[in-house]
Structure 1
């Protein structure tokens, strides 16, 4: 019972991490314009995401434009796109495997593949969390390095956006959910529902007793005294009724 609750708790955390990863991937708030120097008071605010670039005006107008060319994007942005999409796909695979492998579902109930499926779901959640964590950490490093670059104009400096913080939260949720699933499915959440079958070996059967010990041997055949000489003479015999063959040759 405890392992079932732990599996359900880990799956819910992984599902929340997956939802946060998808939202962070789609939001354009990865980099927001920094208000430094002469840009302390501005009428517009710029935001850059993985798929689009948006401008917010003080009048309330919000305009976004998708990136037109994939090859024209910088390599770090292309890598961030690929890693976040891969993290979402891995989370989908983890959710499917965890649903089929949890003890509270009816899929393959009583089968030996039940626990390995839940364990593979936990491992996939761990991989998805690591991919998301690598992406947001990389973006954070680039934003900080550009912000403190003295040769970069203040108009080109950005701050860490809301999507990056959401990505951190989603990555940690996926990691915790994956660890809980692995722990509960690997035998740490309690005893297994069914113990492995033990094959009892029977001692080998004793060999059958010897035939001679059951039935005594038959006595040797001895013909009766009256029948010893009571037999017909053979045609091919060398003697017959006391006469020899050479007497007639």
Structure 2
């Protein structure tokens, strides 16, 4: 029972991590405008993501535009695109393999289920690491440019919401992977019952009486 509860917990965390990975990939809030100074009135906010940049106005209206050229993007955003797409696919495959290894699925044997859970755990951990790399890379570049005196004030950016969600998602994926790796080594001991097939024995005819002896019913139960 404890192993089944851990399986449900790992599957729930893995599902949350998978959804979070896809959400972080498509969110435009990787970098946001940095407003430096106390006398600045904010009328619009610039958001930069992996696939588009958006302009959020003071009336909460947002306009987005897809990047015209991929090669014109900074190296960190170019690499983040591929890594986040790979993490999305990896987390999805890990989630589907974890479902096949669940205790409630009866299409496979116990040894195969443990193998599926182990593979799902490893893939979830790899997906968490793959998510952590681009998120931390973009955060490092953003912070470095923010404190760089050479960079113009209008070009300075701050960390967006997608980066914080990405760090949380990476932690959730790694936690799900560790749970599945532990569950794959778990063996529950329960009561196993085995019933033998009922047998009916008939004694041969008696030469003296000429009548059959009554049938004897035997059933054995092994606990």
Look up the SS of the partner of 1:64 in the other structure: strand
Max Rg structure: 1
Unmatched segments (≥5 aa) in structure 1 = 196-249
The 2-side partners of 1:60 and 1:174 are apart by: 33
Q: Is the 8 A contact 2:121 2:177 kept in 1?
A: yes
Displacement, 1:39? 7.6
Answer whether contact 2:76 2:134 (CA < 8 A) is retained: no
Distance, in Å, in 2 between the alignment partners of 1:114 and 1:149 is 53
Equivalent pairs counted in the alignment come to 192
| C-alpha RMSD of matched pairs (Å) | 1.9
1:32 equivalent in structure 2: 32
Gap regions ≥5 residues in structure 2: 193-223
- Secondary structure of the 1:55 match is strand
1:3 aligns to what?
3
Flag the 1:67–1:38 CA change in 2: closer, same or farther, 3 A.
farther
3-state SS of paired residue (1:103): coil
Structure 2 CA distance for partners of 1:136 and 1:54, relative to 1, 3 Å: same
- State the 4+ residue runs in structure 1 displaced beyond 4 angstroms: 192-195
Structural mapping, 1:47-58, within 5 Å: 47-58=47-58
Q: 2 CA distance for matches of 1:144 and 1:102?
A: 43
Aligned to 1:70: 70
What is the TM-score when the length of structure 1 is the normalising length? 0.73
Q: In the superposition, relative to structure 1, how do residues 33 and 106 fare at CA in structure 2: closer, same or farther (>3 Å)?
A: same
User: Are the equivalent residues in 2 in contact too, given 1:7–1:185 (CA < 8 A)?
Assistant: no
Match of 2:42 in 1: 42
Distance 1:74 1:25 in 2: 16
